[in-house]
Amino acid sequence: MTVPSVERSAQLDRIDRLILAHLVDHGRSSLADLAEAVSVSASSAQRRLRRLESEGVIRGYRAVLDPGAIGRALVVHLSVVLVDHTADTVGRFERWIVDLDGLVSCHHVTGDVDYLLRIDVADVHALDVLLRRTLAQIPGVARFTTMVATSALVDRFTEL
């Protein structure tokens, strides 16, 4: 779904923000539970929920998986620097990376690096294979830095 690029925060009132905050933590809440949590009627909660969905504020619903429970206990963050910023190099890198096994997120960023990635892998051996056989082979990658997460203090999709 394409979401228009507009400033939405001005359109969200206190109840909308309460609904969104509740859904971030309790995505499978029933409509009755949602209404009770934000102190509105079920019909009002449903109307607001439908509006937030249709306006693209809520882009979808998904399950949040425990990486360890699915055999991907090692959470790795990588910063990637490309050799140049031509459309060919950027396009080639982005085509390679979107299908990378274990890729959780990839952000094009400003600063000293070009991309920040989160990749969940099974263990150190899987990380070594990923680095040597995959990332090091992508044309246009000048260098990358690997950071292994030792714990997660906060791990949310979005905080209001």
At 13-64, the pLDDT tens digits run: 999 999 999 998 888 899 999 999 999 999 999 999 999 999 999 998 888 8
pLDDT band at 68 (very low <50, low <70, confident <90, very high): confident
d(CA 58, CA 86): 34
Give the side-chain half-sphere CA count within 13 A for 109: 14
CB contact at 8 A, 149 and 105: no
d(CA 146, CA 153): 19
State yes or no: pLDDT of 158 exceeds 50: no
* Amino acid in the structure at residue 116: L
Q: What is the pLDDT of residues 106-141, one digit of tens each?
A: 999 999 999 999 999 999 999 999 999 888 888 899
Question: Is 133 exposed, middle or buried, given 0-12, 13-18 or 19+ CB atoms closer than 10 A?
Answer: exposed
Higher pLDDT, 68 or 157: 68
**Mean pLDDT over all residues of the chain?**
89
Note the pLDDT of residue 157.
57
Q: What is the mean pLDDT of residues 63-75?
A: 88
Note the pLDDT of residue 115.
98
Note the pLDDT of residue 5.
46
